[in-house]
Structure 1
Amino acid sequence: MSLVDLIARADERGLAASGLACLDRCVPLLGGDDEVLRPLWSSLADGGADGDAWGERLAKARAELDCADPSADTVPGLGPDPAPGSGSGAETETEAETEAAVSDEDRAAALARRMLATAPGDPGASALRAWADACSAAALQIHRLLDVAADGDGPLVAAERRRQVAVLELLAGRGAGGLRPALEVSTEGRRVLRAVVSRRARGRS
């Protein structure tokens, strides 16, 4: 089954776990430690994302990672194109210069911050589905930005897609029992991304 189909068919716990797993793998971009989102995983195990614990723990994670503004919806160099005729040539050139100055790492980090900032604090199925879908796209874009391949789906992107599918399949097949192996899948991906971020940082030094 495709990734799109799996998200469309997932229940609330599966959607919350899918979005959380995407975010968890990208924590190295936010400067957080590996345990910062563990309380949210515990919330899913205890009763899903509709309990008070989820909202409280989400607020704490936002504070710890400095992503407290849920209205954060812009990403440097990845926002929508300006409407035709909306600005002068000089303004367009300035925007282009600004975009060129933003690194792939900055864009990736902004996408990760937006995933956390827009997580629904009191979610229903529709809110979780929209968030899980957005997190899936953002995580794939993050891995695309950091991939060694210049075009298309390189090894990082392909591996991220496989992990997203694996998490959704585990929750669909096992329910709450799929949370632990889903966390293990996410942990593996986080280690890979942390190594990529470290390698890129060494390359710039």
Structure 2
Amino acid sequence: MSLVDLIARADERGLAASGLACLDRCVPLLGGDDEVLRPLWSSLADGGADGDAWGERLAKARAELDCADPSADTVLGLGLGPDPAPGSGSGAETETEAETEAAVSDEDRAAALARRMLATAPGDPGASALRAWADACSAAALQIHRLLDVAADGDGPLVAAERRRQVAVLELLAGRGAGGLRPALEVSTEGRRVLRAVVSRRARGRS
């Protein structure tokens, strides 16, 4: 079954786990430690994303990772901020925006996508809110891995591996329910280690 179909058929716990797993794998971009989102995983095990614990622990994770409101998070070329009205910018403004966009690194773009995943997580979610978030997180995580992939075009090894992990998490939750949370977390942990190594390697390459 395709990734799109799995998200479409997932229940609330599966959707929350899918979005959380995508975010968890991208924690290295936010400067967080490996355990920062563990309380949210515990919330899913205890009762899903509709309990009070989810909202409280989500707020704590945002505070620990210093996650700003998404409306204030603007990175050119990612659609993370409001688009200017047609004809509202002068030629000079357009040139300045182009220069700014060129100066934004792939790592900055990837980190902005990860921050937005956390900032837009529904604090008091229903199925529709979770489905929209899980779908957005899936796309954002794939884009993050595409930005950091060694392949110039298409789906390189990082992107292909991220897609496999997303499918694995959704299949685990669909097949085992709450019992799939632990192996889903293990899948996410593996992906986080891979991304942390990629981020470290790219940082060494710039030094």
Partners of 1:144 and 1:120 lie apart in 2 by: 25
CA-based RMSD: 1.5
Residue deviations 1:52-107 (CA, integer Å, cap 9, x gap): 000000000000000152545533x8657655433222111110000011100001
TM-score w.r.t. the length of structure 1 is 0.95
C-alpha distance 127-73 of structure 1, shift in aligned 2 (>3 A): farther
C-alpha distance 80-156 of structure 1, shift in aligned 2 (>3 A): farther
Partners of 1:116 and 1:70 lie apart in 2 by: 9
C-alpha distance 70-81 of structure 1, shift in aligned 2 (>3 A): closer
8 Å contact from structure 2 (residues 106, 148) kept in 1: yes
3-state SS, counterpart of residue 71 of structure 1? helix
Deviation (angstroms), 1:148:
0.4
8 Å contact from structure 2 (residues 18, 169) kept in 1: yes
- 1:3 matched residue in structure 2: 3
8 Å contact from structure 2 (residues 122, 133) kept in 1: yes
Once the two structures are aligned, what percentage of the paired residues are identical?
Answer: 100
3-state SS, counterpart of residue 167 of structure 1? helix
8 Å contact from structure 1 (residues 72, 114) kept in 2: no
Partners of 2:20 and 2:6 lie apart in 1 by: 15
Q: 1:185 aligns with which of 184, 187, 196?
A: 187
Unaligned 5+ residue runs, structure 1?
Answer: none
3-state SS, counterpart of residue 74 of structure 1? coil
Partners of 1:124 and 1:78 lie apart in 2 by: 24
Partners of 2:50 and 2:147 lie apart in 1 by: 33
Partners of 1:177 and 1:124 lie apart in 2 by: 21
- Structure 1 stretch 144-153 or stretch 78-87: which is displaced more? 78-87
C-alpha distance 144-135 of structure 1, shift in aligned 2 (>3 A): same
3-state SS, counterpart of residue 71 of structure 2? coil
Residue deviations 1:158-189 (CA, integer Å, cap 9, x gap): 00000000000000011000000000000000
8 Å contact from structure 2 (residues 17, 169) kept in 1: yes
Partners of 1:172 and 1:73 lie apart in 2 by: 34
- 1:49 matched residue in structure 2: 49
- How many residues align? The count is 204
Partners of 1:202 and 1:78 lie apart in 2 by: 28
C-alpha distance 7-52 of structure 1, shift in aligned 2 (>3 A): same
TM-score w.r.t. the length of structure 2 is 0.94
